[in-house]
Amino acid sequence: MLTVREMTVSETDIIVDYFLNATPEYMETLGLDPTRFPAAESFRKRLRREAELPIEQCSAVLVIWLQDGEPVGFSTADEITYGAQAHMHIHIVDPEHRNSGIGAECVPLSVALYFERLKLKRLFCEPYAFNIAPNRTLQKAGFKYLKTHMSAPGPYNFHQAVNCWVIERQNVLGSG
């Protein structure tokens, strides 16, 4: 059974462990620079604080993807303008589930959660242009391709080519 929901404070370590234990080679496929990550304890404290804030005050919303109660991935939304827009990030933590299609199942559920909880009009996602899996997943989930441009899409990314995707509220099932 697949479950997509906001993370609890105790689950935020999944994000810290995922990034800080990844190989440099895997980080490069994500467009991430391992030298830009904060120390583990600082990273943990920041994520725990975010998970405890009321939704209107969050600078990031953390969503966990569970299959049969076990974490397989997560999504985060940041650059949030409550009631307007945000940027989404997607990650599969379990290597056995990468390229399995689980992202295509979890992304639409995450999108619906972000639209509902943050009262969004639009949601963006800017994966590394050379990482094929998230780009295909976004297309399958109904995102519209806008452009490819050079950017550092997050504080832990190196400057890179990213594909900018967007989904509008009216295109999200049940978001009327």
Distance CA 75, CA 54 (A): 18
- In 3D, which of 175, 60, 52 has the Cα closest to residue 109? 175
- Position 173 scores a pLDDT of 56
Domains of the chain: 2-121 (3.40.630.30)
pLDDT in tens, 117-152: 999 999 999 999 999 999 999 999 999 999 999 999
pLDDT of 32 reads 96
Q: What is the DSSP string of 6-48?
A: EPPGGGGHHHHHHHHTS-HHHHHHHTB-GGGSPPHHHHHHHHH
pLDDT tens readout for residues 10-35 = 999 999 999 999 999 999 999 999 99
34 residue type, one letter = P
pLDDT score recorded for residue 175: 47
Do residues 85 and 122 make contact, with C-beta atoms less than 8 angstroms apart?
A: yes
| pLDDT, tens digit (0-9, with 9 covering 90-100), for 66-106 | 999 999 999 999 999 999 999 999 999 988 889 899 999 99
